Amino acid sequence: MAQTLKFGNGNFATKAGSTLCYDDQNGNFKPIPMDFTRASTATRVNKEGLIEVVTNDRPRIDYTDTSDGVLLLENASTNRFLYSEDLTQFNLSSSGTGASNPVVTSNYGVSPDGTQNADRVQLDAGTDASGNSRITETFTIFATTETISVYLKSNDGQEHTIDIIQSNSPQNTATVTSEWQRFSFTNVNGSPDKYGIGLTGSNGETADILAWGFQLEQNSVASSYIPSQGSATTRVAETASGAGNSEVFNDSEGVLFADIAANANDGLSRNITISDGTSSNRVFLKFSSTSNLLEATVVSSGVVAMQETYSISDATLYSKLILKYKQNDFSFWVNGFEVGTDSSGNAPTGLDVLDLDSGIAVNDFYGKTKEIGYYNTILTDLELETLTSYRSWESMVNELNLNIIYNG
């Protein structure tokens, strides 16, 4: 078998405007660059586990949930908190007998970006059962679905139950411990009002915590952190496309492999495509707009030659997908199993480019890419099973976000 394109699998190289695919057959390395755009800064979690800002048009290799890194692509989003890290700019309030306004001390502790810029917040909800102490920001516009997120950590070694304030009332609670955690909660059909954190309780309920990185966005999930300093701040949508040529891809037969996860189940299609630059000839793997539905499709001269779908439990967990194509011989593999076949249809023609979209600059792949591979000949069922299976019990459990139960 000849693998003519590799991307990722712990081997990433980037620069402004580009990330690198490559061919290393016979020990000879050939670069296959992929174009990248993002007309704004963005953040990532680096290999040391710290949040850092990435400059315009530079791809993000993110290490949030894997030590090997992933290419992170996201849609546009805006953080509507004006001061995401400066809590002295927030509104301080309290109500109830004995309650007092929060006390904010700037730059008291080390934040998730590794610098001493996390603010200390001391809350005292007083002695009334309905008493509260809150730190919030007021918004005059709202969206149907909004997600608030914030990093919180206990400052006194005690565990605290902190209110998440949305639309001026506690909508959820966060259990704050001595470790930094990012909490996020989605509010549907919100109203323009106060958003932030607070404490509710009785019998002299108090809390001493560190807070950093407030974010409010019109999304169904929290996206990567968007710092703001005095105004609502937008991270622009990202694209990755244009890798390869006709020497890399084979019209008559081949295999497209991807180890990927979606950012959210939010009704968007997310495609990885090899095409002739049009919608007439292409092979693609995608997360469907239908929640938790995978799809593998081959189009030849404008005619769908193969289309198979497969439901999974959670599209935000990593899945290993393969699409094999050859005239009258198509198959779709997911996580070690053959889940669809088709024995009738033509192979596409003119394949010459890999795009992390539908091949026509729509349905961008907003998600996390661990690895992409392309083989210019079809593989045996055993090889396809091996490629889409896990190499160890631990790696399978970790990628499926499960907990190992130890006996004895």
DSSP assignment string, 314-333: -TTS-EEEEEEEETT-EEEE
The three-state secondary structure class of 25 is helix
The three-state secondary structure class of 40 is coil
Higher pLDDT, 72 or 193: 72
- H or E element, residue 32: strand 30-37
Q: What is the pLDDT of residues 53-66, one digit of tens each?
A: 999 999 999 999 99
Q: What is the pLDDT of residues 261-319, one digit of tens each?
A: 999 999 999 999 999 999 999 999 999 999 999 999 999 999 999 999 999 999 999 99
pLDDT at residue 203 is higher than 70:
no
Using a pLDDT cut of 90, give the percent of the chain over it: 86
Q: What is the pLDDT of residues 361-403, one digit of tens each?
A: 999 999 999 999 999 999 999 999 999 998 888 788 877 777 7
The pLDDT-based confidence of 190 (bands split at 50, 70, 90) is low
Question: What is the per-residue pLDDT for 362?
Answer: 96
The pLDDT-based confidence of 254 (bands split at 50, 70, 90) is very high
The pLDDT-based confidence of 189 (bands split at 50, 70, 90) is low
Cα 60 to chain centroid, rounded:
11
Q: Please state the rounded mean pLDDT for residues 190-199.
A: 86
pLDDT at residue 142 is higher than 90:
no
Q: Model pTM?
A: 0.94
pLDDT at residue 230 is higher than 60:
yes
Structure token pair of residue 229 = 């300093």
From the list 2, 8, 58, the residue with the least C-alpha distance to 25 is 2
pLDDT at residue 145 is higher than 90:
no
| Per-state percent for the chain, helix, strand, coil, to nearest 5 | 5, 50, 45
Q: How far apart are the first and last CA of the chain?
A: 45
Kindly report which listed range (131-145, 204-218, 335-349) carries the lowest average pLDDT score. Answer: 131-145
Say which residue the tokens 């995978």 belong to: 294
Cα 240 to chain centroid, rounded:
15
> Which one of 129-138, 191-200, 373-382 scores highest in mean pLDDT?
373-382
DSSP assignment string, 104-139: EEEEEE--TTSSS-EEEEEEEEESSTTEEEEEEEE-
